[in-house]
Structure 1
Amino acid sequence: MLDLFRPFNARFRKIARLQHRDFFDGAVETWELAPAETLQYQSSFHLPGQVERIRASVFAPLPDTIEALTRAGLTHEGPTRAWRLENVDLIDGVLYHNGGEYHLHKRKHPLSLGRRPQSRASGVLYETWATNRWFGSWLMDACVAYDLAAGIGQPVTTMPRSMPGAHQAEYETLIGMAPIHLDGDIHFDELVMLDDLANNSHKGGRARALRNTLVRGREPEPVPGVFLLRGQAGDQRLLTNEQELAALLERERGFKVIDPLSVSVDELIDACAAAKAIVGVEGSHLVHGLTVAPEGAAIVPIQPPERVAATLKQQSDRLGQRFGLLVAEGSHDIFHLRSDELLATLDLFD
């Protein structure tokens, strides 16, 4: 009967403002997969005044985001860890253990607390809420964590199976990912979970191995750069003159212009794997390019001033690429970038 009340217990403690229980407390085993270390990453390149345009950030507090985008010198990165847990319930996208919660998906049913899992499983979970929410996070983090999971046991995921031809399904095939896709409410007799957030050299090595896997056997044509169009796909982040900027780079700098939604993963890899620069509005679609672009390539996301993120800077760091900080003018969802600023930023890299 105690299992039935786990979700109620976790929610009641929140409502009553009782001490928060750590989801990972009571783990039967915890261990370190890679140590903490001090690394040196290159600072971003940018025009004067770009940092001053930043008014708000996502995923981290504004001071931390700016520091991550501009820091130079030594940086401390934490360890990669794992926990082995017993008797964990997954109900409506939320894991419950020891009176704590760990969210993997947004709840769909407000009355889900009274449900009891009818299926049982064990395995190694390699996903997070972020990797389930954004395709780019899935590609840059879940696909890199998959090897960790496979080295411990059977990888499992709550992500639904993608339709054949979808980008996710294509990547899984190319990488050789074969997780068990879980569906519905699950009781885990044993569940291993990973903390793979730290941008340490172990994660960097796995990111490079992923790039090598995706590029192996191909002969991509070297190009000055690729502009990956965002358009109005996903959460609204509209660069009002995106088409004009893309056409400018195609005409004056020899860039390829690609709409990721209209091509296959193979076409994206072939276009980006030998590109000198990857440019486009900040977002998941750029991760297609970052994941396979060569070491030393310039990664230049065009960021809205009220939604600046350092996520892609972290990925470019682990792949040995150079990050260009370029902030447009406008709001968090509608913004504009002067063409001369784009060209001048790319000139800093050249």
Structure 2
Amino acid sequence: MRSYSLTHAAHLAQRALFGGAQPLEAVSTDRIVLHQAEEIISPPAIYLESELEKIQSFHPETTRETEERRIRGGVHRHAATVAYRLENVRLRDAGFYKGRWSMYFPRIDLKDNDKPAITSKAVCALSSSYCGVQYFGHWLRDDATTRLVAETFGEPLAIRAPDWPHRAFYASAFGQDWTPTDAADIETLFVIRDVGQNSHKIARYQELRRRIRRAVTPKYTGHGVYLARGDSGIHKRIIRNEPEVIDFLIRRGFHILDVTRDPIEEIAATMLDAKLFVSIEGSQQSHALYLLGAPAGYVAIQMPTMVNNIWNDFAAQISCRYGFVIGAARDDGVEVDIPALDKTIDMIADDIACPK
């Protein structure tokens, strides 16, 4: 969460005295549309109808309406990709300030509370997002792609984020420097609105997939992978019968990986060009965006109280078919219905014409 600073408090007082907050559009000197909004048809998820009866509630960052669209498929309007040009912007305490406009991020304190030196920058483009400095999955999926846009406008500028163990590997494979800037006076700053999963962004996913394949050699082809999450992440998603799930998947020929135990080099080489992928819903599924083959299939194990089929927004963009099973609540975790998982894998394998 945002921790307020003296800089931010002073900004709030200023805008209260002089007319309230200004939107980004009001303080920008130019608005550059890189790609118009467009409608894209999302295919339906693959699932057993009985799974829908297990849903109790949805992840706090989604809605019932959104999930119904992700499950049933249909036309979805994706926002435009737009860059805004601002002049004379201050960056302090993980916040950007110009006049009565501000854009701030969760702040990560420096070691020993060192006060960062204020640097002067000529032309920069913001490559970080609010969620991308909190969640590894959002950084990998959102910020790494926005970075490709930022590079076309000026020096990419990154906000300090946690030192996630897998980030350095991807940054190197993508050819990206994510050294953070903590305080700066910026002559020109481009702020990029890049939330729409439009064709412009799809092309950037494909570019990063190409870069991964130049950096990593696959260990297998046409195989299945299960990626365990363990107890990692802000939201705990414990599979109570995971040993039984793993035994079942091994019998189906799957390779087993664990994000909390296996080196990222092993994860990437094993997942690269996999045809079938199974994992519990969470940030770790973002590895699949760049590593799965095409075509491929992915089955997400869902918490019944935090259902979030966000992956179906990305699956078709990399020629992947998405399906899900809903676990049964057990204490603070879930128990997977293995026969339901088995049937769902079969349905996806048939859909992508993948050998079982």
TM-score by length of 1: 0.86
Is the Cα contact below 8 Å between 1:91 and 1:117 reproduced in 2? Answer: no
What RMSD over aligned residues (CA atoms) do the two structures have, in Å?
A: 3.0
In structure 2, what residue type is equivalent to 1:119?
Answer: T
Write the mapping of 1:308-319 to structure 2, written as runs, cut at 5 A: 308-319=307-318
Q: Deviations over 1:264-320 (max 9, x none)?
A: 333222211221111111111222233210122112221112212233222223222
Q: Does 1:34 align with 2:26?
A: no
Number of matched pairs: 338
How far is the alpha carbon of 1:200 from its aligned partner?
A: 0.5
Which of 182, 185, 190 is 2:183 aligned to? 185
* Residue equivalent to 1:338: 337
In structure 2, what residue type is equivalent to 1:344?
Answer: K
State the SS of the aligned residue for 1:49.
Answer: helix
Taking a change above 3 Å as real, the CA distance of residues 116 and 297 of structure 1, as seen in their structure-2 partners, is closer
Q: Does 1:273 align with 2:272?
A: yes
* Residue equivalent to 2:250: 250
Which of 184, 201, 204 is 2:202 aligned to? 204
Taking a change above 3 Å as real, the CA distance of residues 309 and 91 of structure 1, as seen in their structure-2 partners, is farther
Q: Does 1:264 align with 2:263?
A: yes
Distance between the aligned counterparts of 2:204 and 2:297, measured in 1? 20
Distance between the aligned counterparts of 1:49 and 1:297, measured in 2? 24
Distance between the aligned counterparts of 2:222 and 2:332, measured in 1? 30
Q: Deviations over 1:107-132 (max 9, x none)?
A: 769xx9xx998333341111111111
How far is the alpha carbon of 1:254 from its aligned partner?
A: 0.3
In structure 1, what residue type is equivalent to 2:196?
Answer: A
Taking a change above 3 Å as real, the CA distance of residues 14 and 338 of structure 1, as seen in their structure-2 partners, is farther
In structure 1, what residue type is equivalent to 2:86?
Answer: L
How far is the alpha carbon of 1:189 from its aligned partner?
A: 2.6
* Residue equivalent to 2:51: 50
193-202 vs 317-326, which deviates more? 317-326
Q: Give the gaps of 5 or more residues in structure 2.
A: 350-356
Is the Cα contact below 8 Å between 2:273 and 2:294 reproduced in 1? Answer: no
* Residue equivalent to 2:80: 79
* Residue equivalent to 1:228: 227
Distance between the aligned counterparts of 2:108 and 2:24, measured in 1? 18
In structure 2, what residue type is equivalent to 1:172?
Answer: A
65-74 vs 287-296, which deviates more? 65-74
Distance between the aligned counterparts of 2:264 and 2:177, measured in 1? 18
Distance between the aligned counterparts of 1:51 and 1:10, measured in 2? 47
Distance between the aligned counterparts of 1:270 and 1:23, measured in 2? 42
Write the mapping of 1:51-66 to structure 2, written as runs, cut at 5 A: 51-58=52-59, 60-66=61-67
In structure 2, what residue type is equivalent to 1:104?
Answer: F
In structure 2, what residue type is equivalent to 1:186?
Answer: A
* Residue equivalent to 1:140: 141
* Residue equivalent to 1:323: 322
How far is the alpha carbon of 1:175 from its aligned partner?
A: 1.1
Q: Give the gaps of 5 or more residues in structure 1.
A: none
TM-score by length of 2: 0.85
* Residue equivalent to 1:299: 298
State the SS of the aligned residue for 1:243.
Answer: helix
Distance between the aligned counterparts of 2:303 and 2:14, measured in 1? 38
Identity of aligned residues (%): 24
Is the Cα contact below 8 Å between 1:88 and 1:96 reproduced in 2? Answer: yes
State the SS of the aligned residue for 1:25.
Answer: helix
How far is the alpha carbon of 1:242 from its aligned partner?
A: 1.9
* Residue equivalent to 2:240: 240
133-142 vs 153-162, which deviates more? 153-162
Distance between the aligned counterparts of 1:226 and 1:21, measured in 2? 48
Distance between the aligned counterparts of 2:87 and 2:15, measured in 1? 23
Is the Cα contact below 8 Å between 2:42 and 2:70 reproduced in 1? Answer: no
How far is the alpha carbon of 1:41 from its aligned partner?
A: 2.1
How far is the alpha carbon of 1:140 from its aligned partner?
A: 1.1
In structure 2, what residue type is equivalent to 1:319?
Answer: I
Is the Cα contact below 8 Å between 1:161 and 1:181 reproduced in 2? Answer: no
